[in-house]
Structure 1
Amino acid sequence: MKANQWQAMAVAAGLMVASTASAQETGGGSGSFGNAGQIVVSSDAFGNLGYTTEGAGYGYFHIAPSADYFLKENLSVGANVQLRVLFGEGDTVAAFGIGGRVGYNIALAEKISVWPKAGVTLFVGDDIIATQDGTGAASTVILDGYAPFLYHVTSHFFIGAGPRLAIGLGDDVDVTFGVATTLGGYF
């Protein structure tokens, strides 16, 4: 990889760490995850490395620092800022997005829950959604669904992973399915 590719990945990793460092247990708040009035700060991250039949290998790294608010017990609304860095045989390119989402937490056990979320994001940049043929649009609306299974490590701190489906709407419709991770806390 070229030096600028490593720099872009370092910046992305730094943003993810910074956004989740403040999410660790901050005191205040009470009760279990999903109570009305809770604020959740988290960061979702996922990546992909692949090879296309067009003969060009590519990959991407994506982080999404976010904040969610539980309106009612287990029902959340939130927003996020997203950064996607696409790298491959050509130059490294970045895309930025802002999105909104709605979710519903489902407790499965004392320390385990699933928090499915549906959202919409507007991205601006080149090569926005990593597709099999490497195409992308200058700006793209992405509809996504993400259902992370959360493990509540301690009071007010969780980690999780789960399936994610993204549908990019632009000049063409692009679909990406994968597994994403999340790290966060609540107060």
Structure 2
Amino acid sequence: MKANQWQAMAVAAGLMVASTASAQETGGGSGSFGNAGQIVVSSDAYANLGYTTEGAGGGYFHLAPSADYFLKENLSVGGNVQLRVNFGDDDSQAAFGIGARVGYNIALGEKISVWPKAGVTLFVGDNIIGMQDGTGSLSTVILDGYAPFLYHITSHFFVGAGPRLAIGLGDDVDVTFGVSTTIGGYF
């Protein structure tokens, strides 16, 4: 009876080693960032605090939980839900948005890559978007480009930061340039 248990364990161990070696050889879905079929869950965040030249104080905080899918090697599509809170001397306002984006990952080294993304966001509500970031109060559609440089801390977790350019469309066209941060993981 004991001999059969040891044989079964040896066969199971052999199968596990063989399947692990095969998965590593073919990519196995857990390879480097940007492999086809990977799902990325992340959150972008940026903020501003200060006073305008008109003497009004205020700022905003913006959080965008996101999900992206790599259609093929390094090419991703995704979407996000956005929460933005504006605060100032006179009042506080909140805005909600939904966005879609496309990106392309470029590996710069074993642990560093840049993942430029272009997207469009539709915000819900009137007169709640404008503040110090340049997007006008009547804007409801934001086009943006974001190129975070990612540091892959472990095989499935990253942090990053990079430049963001946003163009608010509405009665007036407003342009904002800043730096955003991101944190996320993939499977």
TM-score, structure 1 normalization: 0.81
- Mapped partners of 2:118, 2:171: distance in 1: 22
2:131 match: 130
> Which amino acid counterpart does residue 175 of structure 2 have in structure 1?
V
> Which amino acid counterpart does residue 137 of structure 2 have in structure 1?
G
1:100 match: 100
1:54-83: CA deviations, max 9, x gaps?
A: 221110000000000000100000000001
1:27-57: CA deviations, max 9, x gaps?
A: x941000000000000000001122122211
Identity of aligned residues (%): 83
Greater relative contact order (Cα 8 A, min sep 6): structure 1 or 2?
Answer: 1
- Mapped partners of 1:150, 1:53: distance in 2: 35
> Displacement of 1:140 after TM fit?
0.8
Structure 1 pair 164–111 and aligned structure 2 pair: CA distance change class (3 A): same
- Is contact 2:135–2:175 with CA below 8 Å preserved after alignment? no
- 4+ residue runs of structure 1 moved beyond 6 angstroms? none
Consecutive unaligned residues in structure 1, runs of 5 or more:
1-27
Q: Are 1:151 and 2:151 counterparts?
A: yes
2:44 match: 44
- Mapped partners of 1:46, 1:89: distance in 2: 20
- Mapped partners of 1:94, 1:151: distance in 2: 31
1:112-137: CA deviations, max 9, x gaps?
A: 00000000000123331434678512
| Number of equivalences | 159
- Mapped partners of 2:95, 2:170: distance in 1: 14
- Mapped partners of 2:134, 2:175: distance in 1: 12
Bigger radius of gyration among the two: 2
> Which amino acid counterpart does residue 177 of structure 1 have in structure 2?
F
- Mapped partners of 1:135, 1:158: distance in 2: 33
2:81 match: 81
Consecutive unaligned residues in structure 2, runs of 5 or more:
1-27
